[in-house]
Amino acid sequence: MRCPFCSSENTQVKDSRPAEDGTAIRRRRQCADCGGRFTTYERVQLRELTVIKRSGRRVPFDREKLARSVWIALRKRDIDPERVERMISGIVRQLESRGDPEVPSEVIGELVMEGLRALDDVAFVRYASVYRNFREASDFCEFLATLDSQAKPAPDDQAADSQHATGSDGEEA
pLDDT (tens, 9 = 90+) of the chain, 173 residues, equals: 899 999 999 999 999 998 867 778 899 999 999 999 999 988 776 678 999 998 999 999 999 999 999 999 999 999 999 899 999 989 998 998 888 899 999 999 999 999 998 999 889 888 888 877 777 777 777 777 777 666 655 444 444 444 444 444 444 44
Is 167 in contact with 173 (CB distance < 8 Å)? yes
Contacts of 160 (CB under 8 A, 6+ apart): none
Q: What is the pLDDT of residues 59-88, one digit of tens each?
A: 999 999 999 999 999 999 999 998 999 999
CA pseudo-torsion sign 70, 72, 74, 79: positive
Taking the C-alpha atoms of residue 140 and residue 51, their distance in angstroms, rounded to an integer, is 27
The per-residue pLDDT for 46 is 63
Burial class (CB in 10 A: 0-12, 13-18, 19+), 53: exposed
Could you please report the per-residue DSSP string of 79-119?
Answer: --HHHHHHHHHHHHHHHHTTS-SEEEHHHHHHHHHHHHHHH
